[in-house]
């Protein structure tokens, strides 16, 4: 297949490109390097050094003989997006190219507006390019489990059958997201479902849990192929933060009481899920949804797992929660679709021992402890606006 990966310079986009290339597909990546710019803006950096995209592409070709084409541009530029899709003529488009951090979207009005404009407009331009150039292209879009929030009922895979006043219908599962970033993903899902229903395109929406891990078989082949490892309070996942804290011997910082439950998935399983979705496309006119996770744990359970695996004796410390969220809630997720396609999951405990702790120890000299302290508050204080 010919597969175009949007956001192909990112944490997940780059390993996905290599995985699909290694599997025999013709791969192209597209990026505008905004993610690298966020680091400069926020004064943070990946724990593991990453090479320029041009270097990564050259190294992969040197090692494997497999070329990866690169398009440099912004999805919010409709002309660029249409030209890229027409030029590469993909069978599938994997869409990672969005601002993906909830805290970043909650900094202030400017960051909220940027997140929603960048994410929603970029996805709309992709949808129009598919509809106008080749409606047979299969869109594989990375959503998030955060779209659902924490409802007091089971979370189905994207759709819900309802019985109301003696009538039955199948509707998109109701969403209650927890940040302007997660809201942008909800808007994406609704726009994609609309395009499938009205234009007859095909799409798979992957509502992904928290991704952990920094290496795949392909990125581990050479240090110059490494992907990001974010641990800061803005872009880093809670798991990465705990691992880094355990290695440098400081308390693991749990927000609130730690009862927040999250879906988790190993990065190796993420790239495999993308491969399964691409090689088993949705039907024309189908908006297919998979919940992309392999296990669920509370934040406190994650902290306890990391503490138990660490060689250091590290305490667990509770901080006031900067987010507005339920800290104790029901959480039961259906995630059978990808397993039915053949996904065989890795477990968190295996990844901690095999990869994360050793990588963190190798680059511990690059840790900036102050970057892990939460500085962005979800709650806004009232103010008087004068003319």
Distance CA 217, CA 275 (A): 14
Backbone φ/ψ region at 330: left (φ over 0), alpha (ψ -120 to 50), beta: beta
State residue 90 phi and psi, 5-degree precision.
-75, 155
Residue 298 CB partners (closer than 8 Å, separation 6+): 258, 259, 260, 261, 262
State residue 169 phi and psi, 5-degree precision.
-150, 160
**144 flagged as catalytic:** yes
**Annotated active-site residue in 81, 123, 185, 335:** 185
What string of DSSP letters covers 264-280? EEEHHHHHHHHHHHHHS
Distance CA 369, CA 365 (A): 11
The upper half-sphere exposure of residue 121, i.e. CA atoms within 13 Å in the direction of its Cβ, equals 12
**Annotated active-site residue in 123, 144, 150, 351:** 144
State residue 374 phi and psi, 5-degree precision.
-70, 130
- CA distance readout (Å), 138 to 95, 121, 237: 11, 19, 29
**181 flagged as catalytic:** yes
**16 flagged as catalytic:** no
**Annotated active-site residue in 38, 96, 104, 181:** 181
Residue 152 and residue 331 in contact, taking contact as beta carbons nearer than 8 Å = no
Strands 92-95 and 2-6: parallel
Length of the chain: 387
So which residues are the catalytic ones?
144, 181, 185
């Amino acid at each position: 297949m010919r597969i175009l990966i949007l956001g192909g310079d990112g944490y997940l986009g780059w390993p996905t490109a290599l995985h699909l290339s290694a599997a025999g597909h013709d791969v192209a990546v597209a990026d505008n390097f905004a993610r690298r710019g966020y680091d400069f803006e926020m004064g943070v950096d990946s724990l593991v050094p990453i090479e320029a995209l041009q270097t990564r592409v050259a190294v992969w070709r040197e090692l494997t003989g497999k070329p990866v084409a690169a398009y440099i541009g912004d999805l919010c530029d409709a002309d660029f997006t249409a030209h890229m899709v027409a030029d590469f003529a993909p069978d599938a488009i994997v869409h990672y190219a969005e601002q993906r951090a909830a805290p970043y979207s909650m900094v202030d009005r400017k960051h909220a507006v940027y997140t929603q404009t960048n994410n929603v407009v970029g996805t709309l331009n992709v949808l129009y390019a598919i509809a106008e150039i080749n409606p047979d292209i299969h869109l594989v879009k990375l959503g998030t489990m955060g779209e659902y929030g924490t409802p007091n009922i089971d979370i189905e895979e994207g759709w819900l059958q309802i019985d109301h006043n003696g009538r039955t219908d199948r509707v998109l599962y109701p969403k209650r997201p927890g940040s302007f970033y997660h809201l942008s993903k909800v808007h994406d899902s609704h726009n994609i479902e609309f395009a499938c229903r009205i234009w007859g395109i095909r799409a798979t929406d992957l509502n992904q849990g928290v991704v952990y891990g920094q290496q795949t078989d392909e990125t581990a082949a050479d240090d110059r192929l490494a992907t990001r490892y974010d641990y800061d309070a803005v872009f880093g996942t809670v798991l990465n933060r705990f691992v880094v804290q355990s290695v440098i011997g400081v308390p693991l910082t749990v927000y609130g009481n730690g009862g927040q439950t999250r879906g988790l998935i190993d990065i190796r399983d993420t790239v495999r899920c993308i491969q399964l979705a691409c090689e088993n496309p949705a039907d024309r006119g189908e908006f297919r949804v998979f919940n992309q996770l392999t296990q669920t744990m509370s934040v406190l359970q994650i902290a306890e797992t990391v503490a138990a695996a660490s060689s250091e004796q590290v305490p667990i410390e509770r901080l006031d929660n900067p987010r507005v969220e339920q800290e104790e809630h029901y959480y039961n997720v259906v995630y059978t679709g990808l397993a039915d396609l053949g996904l065989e999951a890795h477990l968190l405990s295996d990844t901690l021992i095999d990869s994360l702790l050793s990588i963190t120890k190798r680059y511990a000299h690059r840790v900036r402890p102050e970057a892990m302290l939460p500085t962005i508050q979800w709650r806004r204080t009232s103010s008087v606006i004068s003319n």
